[in-house]
């Protein structure tokens, strides 16, 4: 993090930018319904304390006659809504017993059809008619999440990302955003947004190797085509010996020369 911030600061940039954090969001309904919700856009934000979980369970709540989606840790306990009948024509039943999401799911499947599925505005209205005002209730919606870095490595860090609003059944991914003045939080924004970004890569390491050549005509070594051909042959030789990721180039001296005639050592008598 220190190196990242130093890189951005040295560029004179003071706002936010993309980082390689990426979260896949897979919406699921308990009864297997795979269609998307139709109607007004009811949005939810993922709480940072839940965002790193493999599974996030959803509640709905009523406030001032408005209904909302929200996320919660699946181990939290709330009343819940089951349904009888079919997905196409459900009859909702409010169960005023506090259970975690999995227990509520088992209860609904044992006594009714399943936890409530909401397909459209009509379903919302029917659910609203059986649910108390100002009451959080479990429904059958949950999210499978997979957080990773752009290079495929697993997510492992003390900071917890906070997602912007998610639309159930529609949002499928969020991308990582870092606000430079705040190093304590990461944010997950729609990947279609446009921001500057920071790339990373392995540091370049250069190594100088002296090469001794024996030629009958030293003038050939001043020919650019000959020097290029020599590099190609040396590169092929490295690859034959299992050395990859190395780029060879000639090192020029201050006078522009690559090869210099080796001085003969004096022979002592």
Residuewise pLDDT in 10s, the chain (269 residues) = 888 888 888 888 888 999 998 888 888 899 999 877 766 545 555 554 455 555 688 888 876 666 677 888 889 999 999 999 998 899 999 999 999 999 999 999 999 999 999 988 889 889 988 988 888 999 999 988 778 888 877 776 666 666 656 666 666 788 888 888 777 778 888 889 999 999 987 666 777 888 888 877 777 777 888 888 888 888 888 888 888 778 888 887 767 778 777 776 665 55
Only one residue has tokens 């020097």, namely: 227
In whole angstroms, give the CA distance from residue 95 to residue 218: 93
Q: Does the residue 99 lie in any domain?
A: yes
**For residue 188, which of 3, 20, 9 has the smallest C-alpha distance?**
20
Same domain, 156 and 217: no
pTM for the whole structure:
0.62
Same domain, 105 and 236: no
Q: Does the residue 265 lie in any domain?
A: no
Six token digits for residue 151: 């290079």
Q: Taking the chain, what is the end-to-end CA distance rounded to the nearest angstrom?
A: 65
In whole angstroms, give the CA distance from residue 77 to residue 81: 13
Q: Does the residue 64 lie in any domain?
A: yes
Same domain, 121 and 218: no
**C-alpha distances out from residue 212 to 182, 209, 215, 223, Å:** 55, 10, 10, 17
In whole angstroms, give the CA distance from residue 54 to residue 257: 61
Domain count, the chain: 2
Same domain, 249 and 178: no
Same domain, 84 and 39: yes
Q: Does the residue 237 lie in any domain?
A: yes
**88-137 residue pLDDT tens:** 899 999 999 999 999 999 999 999 999 999 988 889 889 988 988 888 99
In whole angstroms, give the CA distance from residue 124 to residue 141: 14
Structural domain of 224: 208-260
CA angle, residues 197, 148, 55, in degrees to nearest 5: 130
Q: Does the residue 130 lie in any domain?
A: yes
Q: Are strands 137-149 and 55-63 parallel, antiparallel or unpaired?
A: antiparallel
Same domain, 141 and 241: no
Same domain, 242 and 114: no
Q: Does the residue 26 lie in any domain?
A: yes
Let me know: does 147 contact 21? Beta carbons within 8 Å. yes
Q: Does the residue 268 lie in any domain?
A: no
**Considering 158, 189, 220, which residue would you say is the last residue of a domain?**
189
Same domain, 106 and 236: no
Reduce the DSSP state of residue 172 to 3 states and report it. Answer: coil
In whole angstroms, give the CA distance from residue 101 to residue 186: 28
């Amino acid at each position: 993090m220190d190196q990242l911030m130093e890189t951005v600061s040295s560029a004179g940039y003071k706002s936010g930018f993309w980082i390689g954090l990426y979260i896949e969001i897979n919406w699921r309904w308990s009864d297997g319904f795979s269609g998307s919700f139709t109607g007004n856009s009811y949005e939810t934000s993922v709480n940072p304390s839940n965002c790193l979980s493999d599974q996030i369970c959803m509640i709905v709540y009523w406030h001032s006659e408005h209904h909302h989606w929200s996320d919660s840790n699946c181990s939290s306990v709330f009343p819940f809504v089951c349904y009888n009948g079919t997905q196409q024509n459900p009859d909702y039943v409010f169960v005023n017993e506090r259970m975690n999401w999995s227990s509520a799911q088992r209860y609904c499947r044992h006594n009714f059809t399943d936890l409530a599925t909401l397909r459209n505005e009509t379903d919302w209205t029917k659910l609203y008619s059986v649910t108390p005002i100002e009451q959080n209730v479990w429904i059958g919606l949950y999210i499978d999440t997979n957080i990773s870095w752009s290079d495929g490595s697993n997510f492992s860090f003390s900071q917890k990302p906070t997602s912007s609003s998610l639309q159930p059944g529609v949002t499928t991914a969020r991308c990582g955003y870092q606000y430079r003045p705040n190093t304590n939080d990461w944010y997950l924004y729609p990947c279609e947004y446009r921001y500057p970004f920071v790339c990373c890569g392995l540091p370049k390491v250069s190594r100088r190797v002296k090469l001794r050549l024996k030629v009958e005509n030293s003038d050939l070594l001043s020919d650019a085509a000959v020097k290029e051909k020599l590099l190609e042959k040396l590169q092929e030789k490295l690859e034959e010996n299992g050395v990859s990721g190395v780029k060879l180039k000639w090192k020029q001296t201050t006078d522009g020369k690559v090869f210099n005639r080796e001085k003969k050592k004096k022979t002592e008598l």
